Chains A and B, each alone.
Chain A
Amino acid sequence: MIVTLAEAVAELVHDGDTVALEGFTHLIPVAAGHEIIRQGRRGLTLVRMTPDIVYDQLIGAGCARKLVFSWAGNPGVGSLHRFRDAVQHAWPGPLEIEEHSHAGMANRYVAGASGLPFAVLRGYTGTDLPRHTATIAPITCPFTGETLTAVPALNPDVGIVHAQRADRRGNVQYWGITGVHKEVVLASARSLVTVEEVVDELTPVPGAVVLPAWAVTRVAHVPGGSHPSYAMGFSDRDNDYYQRWDAISRDRAEFGRWLEGLTS
């Protein structure tokens, strides 16, 4: 159940998989993303509501074939330059995109976690998104006749998140901004949770979410595994790193040096 990060990624993430590393500013599994880069995975369909620095790195490193997302940026700083370079100049390779809104993506995970083929929401009406995204379609309410929007379930091959702690049996506990953590773990065929600490017994925390061990495939003990994002109670968001990434990612050569540092 509890394995090393390298073992977990080797076992769970295969070339060509659909992989979601989720985290809404908080608890982003950055170390797991770096391990995917180190192990040289290719042809991944990367899924995430808010692809940020770690997705910029995965895209720049050539791991991704496609991105399914709703907002791709360096939060609070600006653009993701590796993502931009891939979309605008197909560097290091072409990147197919499937673009949604946050509400659409959140509901796709909910449908995936619920074992349903699609979700329904009031959304997208009047926007240009449905013209470019095949996974947005109008649907008529069978009770009122009202036109709403349907989006298909997202069921990744692998869902990866970071959390505050687990016990030795692999029950996982996390709190703070919980994003779509629960939904992505339950929607995915296989899941990995990296944790700040492993304890004998989970202490109850108000508002915390507990994922029972049997709902999670693997847990890896990775202290600081969400840096530069944060784990409430363990670390603060490293805002300077997000700002520094802008300069590193703007330039292909500069990014290449960063990548060499990660993989060597």
Chain B
Amino acid sequence: MSWTADEMMTVAAARALRGGTRCFVGIGLPSTAANLARRTHAPDLVLVYESGTIGAKPDRLPLSIGDGVLAETADAVVGVPEMFNYWLQPGRIDVGFLGAAQLDRFGNINTTVIGDDYADPRVRLPGAGGAPEIAASCREVIVVVRQSRRTFVDRVDFVTSVGHGSGPGDRARLGLRGGGPALVITDLGVLEPDPCDRELVLTHLHPGVTPEQAVAATGWALRLAPAVSTTEAPRPAELAALRALTGSAEDKETT
């Protein structure tokens, strides 16, 4: 059974979520992966969306974080101030699952502007949304993002959400309570922060991807872990569940 790089990424991201944990889910790739995890190995994963739905169990992939199917299937629906003040801020959520427009070697995220001039940006992006406080308060953060030189930059143009700042001790100095990015999962492999200097290093490559490809797709001098593992290829059950979720063409061909 063949699969695309995006499918490998989504499956790898889903596997990173463990059952029973409470996961604050961003829309797009993180939402697809979180819903896949709930349909495969982690049926009791608690999906939390910033629209106020806690424990959503959608039977189809929502297009937006506030789709009706999330509210109809949730354990609780709360107002947005309550979501941020009562549920996120005190550290009740285990995992923050985020995307990024730009990401640097310390896992700092930009979703605000591309270009050096905030007032006159090259590209105006949507902005912060819930991400700064998700990145600050969840016990750990997992970033799901396609890897390219445009995205993986030496320095983000704007720090929307703090990763590991500029290195060890920064999060504590800033008073951020969560642990910060623990995993960055891409279409090429997986990066994890070095325990000593907190710089993201490549720890896994997806099947068929070479270290050179990952280095070429990274805008900083990417370091490789002493032993880079190969991610397990998507299993047929994982692919079938993913394709049923996204309604992709591959599904129609294989069923």
Contacts and interface: CB of A to CB of B under 8 A. Distances in A.
Interface of A: 24-26, 49-50, 69-73, 75-77, 79-80, 83-84, 87-88, 99-103, 106-107, 109-110, 121-129, 132, 146-147, 176-183, 207, 230, 232, 236-237, 239, 242
A122 B63 contact: no
- List of 7 A-B pairs having minimum Cβ-Cβ separation, nearest first: A25-B66, A73-B126, A71-B129, A76-B63, A75-B64, A126-B162, A76-B64
- Range of interface residues on chain B? 35 or more
Interface stretch (B174-182, B203-211, B228-236, B244-252): B174-182
Contacts of A100: 128
A207 B77 contact: yes
Nearest to A87: B124
Contacts of A80: 126
B52 A177 contact: yes
A223 to B, nearest CB: 18
A25 B121 CA distance: 27
A236 B137 CA distance: 33
B81 interface: yes
Interface stretch (B9-17, B39-47, B82-90, B138-146): B82-90
B64 A103 contact: no
Given A76-B27, A128-B158, A132-B118, A102 B64 contact: no
B interface SS class:
loop
B51 A125 contact: no
A121 B129 contact: no
A128 B159 contact: yes
Contact of B137 (A109, A122, A132, A179): A122
Contacts of B85: 103, 106-107, 110, 121
B79 interface: yes
B53 interface: yes
Contacts of A124: 132
Interface in B174-220: 174-177
A126 B174 contact: yes
B132 A177 contact: no
